[in-house]
Amino acid sequence: MGNYKSFGDTKFVPNLPKEKLERVILGSEAAQQHPEEVRGLWHTCGELMFSLEPRLRHLGLGKEGITTYFSGNCTMEDAKLAQDFLDSQNLSAYNTRLFKEVDGEGKPYYEVRLASVLGSEPSLDSEVTSKLKSYEFRGSPFQVTRGDYAPILQKVVEQLEKAKAYAANSHQGQMLAQYIESFTQGSIEAHKRGSRFWIQDKGPIVESYIGFIESYRDPFGSRGEFEGFVAVVNKAMSAKFERLVASAEQLLKELPWPPTFEKDKFLTPDFTSLDVLTFAGSGIPAGINIPNYDDLRQTEGFKNVSLGNVLAVAYATQREKLTFLEEDDKDLYILWKGPSFDVQVGLHELLGHGSGKLFVQDEKGAFNFDQETVINPETGEQIQSWYRSGETWDSKFSTIASSYEECRAESVGLYLCLHPQVLEIFGFEGADAEDVIYVNWLNMVRAGLLALEFYTPEAFNWRQAHMQARFVILRVLLEAGEGLVTITPTTGSDGRPDARVRLDRSKIRSVGKPALERFLRRLQVLKSTGDVAGGRALYEGYATVTDAPPECFLTLRDTVLLRKESRKLIVQPNTHLEGSDVQLLEYEASAAGLIRSFSERFPEDGPELEEILTQLATADARFWKGPSEAPSGQA
């Protein structure tokens, strides 16, 4: 992963001088046992770990940052060209990386490398092998290869083969078989087939998913981070979510767009509250709506997951550390933040990510909507744009896709939490229901202010999709006017700059709801029609951060940074087999516990894994030649 935040994509450096850390490392037991290896590793990464050279401060492309999804010489223009090439060959970017080399005459040559166990070996799968060849695209040579991360994926496949013996039903067995094929061959189509069986496996007690899933860390927004989780169902909270699912078809009708912009048929999904046992990835989310494949979501459905023990960590708030709220809001906020967040996550995942239709023309020229009768509610005209075969939401909207979709889902949550039926499902009525609504909206506008931490003024860019989305919502509600939301700069009791966020709860329905309704409808229409130009103009307009009055957001950003609270860490347990019994190994909630949890995760093959990772990094090091192009981003 590199020393880059999972939430914000900025670099963090050790809180001690480089020389002291070097003494700690070289004085360790590992260094005594393997002196040359440890010195070699430190020599390779020591300077990079501490370097705050501008390009190494955050993830990005070209001069804007560093990433290992692309070779160090790739720019945003290269990423766009590669995406167009992938679209032309109906290849997904999810499990790929892009490497560019330049010949003596300055002509670029591109390698698209698929992650797989197999490299150039013969294969039974023509689906992938037919794509493994050289191409000429817009005057540039492309080569599609595979075998990226082969030794690690071989380990994954070996464990999935063992897991097949414990499949609880045929859906799980077929799911595992398709995952194995996907990781062996480098086939996203096989992973889609596995995901189809996963969707059909309703209500398992132990839930899991694995693959190249979320695209937040790719600066272009198309490549997936490899992640996986295992979690156990929380039956009490899941019962509430099941009631929400039962009402979903009716609640979808409350959303502010015409029925023709909704899926042709609502495919009843699973929605469970899970307690995470293990979540492997750069960060652990509070909720998930997967799979991310648009074609499956439109025709097969999806699953919703709320991660209860992750939410519990998010709930934990000390009054004295609660920033930017009025004193008389703090106790109410602490009391209702947890319950309101349950409601928001439920609506966000099920009816946010789970709603809306994409207008598509398939490879045979057929449309999934009636060109004659479907009318754009924003223009009053027939539909003028749509998704062509091979195009997806991520590939078309690329750099804004993740944040735009999170904004749409968050807006759905705010909008539908006003519906009495939703609050009754979660057990809230009367004054309690009104408090849940108020705190949910208050939490969102406060989050919009806190989001400024994740904006980089020097590069004019946002580093975190969810936080950009919350800032956009704050802007929409501020624009609504009439005193609905106000942000007032103040001076804290410590004499330093501070601020207060106020939400007029009496105007949530009369002012806030209509503003959100208009905005949400525009978001959905532009998404459904694949109108990238319109979508960018709308979204990037609201996401612009300036120091213009009355809010003076750049000045407020300094205050937010001054008052920011440390991000919470989640220490995960490990499991250990003793005969046929599974032992749960838990660790103390501290930095030391976190380190022990990591170091004891793979006790049998840890050294082998470390050797594999070192070999892979060394093999690709030439693609990041100088210190400004070093592979210190995520793997």
Catalytic residues: 349
Is 406 marked as binding a ligand?
Answer: yes
State the Cα–Cα distance between residues 600 and 593, nearest whole angstrom. Answer: 11
User: How far is residue 571 CA from its own chain's centroid?
Assistant: 20
SS3 sequence, 460-507?
Answer: CEECCHHHHHHHHHHHHHHHHCCCCEEEEEEECCCCCEEEEEEECHHH
State the Cα–Cα distance between residues 553 and 273, nearest whole angstrom. Answer: 37
Is 191 marked as binding a ligand?
Answer: no
Is 348 marked as binding a ligand?
Answer: yes
Half-sphere exposure of 231 (CA within 13 A, CB side): 27
Helix then strand then coil, in percent of the chain rounded to 5, is 50, 15, 35
Please spell the DSSP secondary structure of 352-402, one letter per residue: IIT-----BB-TTS-BSS-TTT-B-TTTSSB----BPTT--HHHHHHHHHH
Residue 306 carries which DSSP code? E
Residue keyed to tokens 């689906």: 127
Contacts of 607 (CB under 8 A, 6+ apart): none
Helices (H), 210-319: 235-252, 294-299, 308-315
Contacts of 390 (CB under 8 A, 6+ apart): 87, 88, 90, 363
Helices (H) and strands (E) in the chain, counts: 21, 15
Question: Roughly what angle, to the nearest 10 degrees, separates helices 18-26 and 35-50?
Answer: 160
Which residues belong to the annotated binding site?
348, 353, 406
Which residues belong to the annotated binding site for Zn(2+)?
348, 353, 406
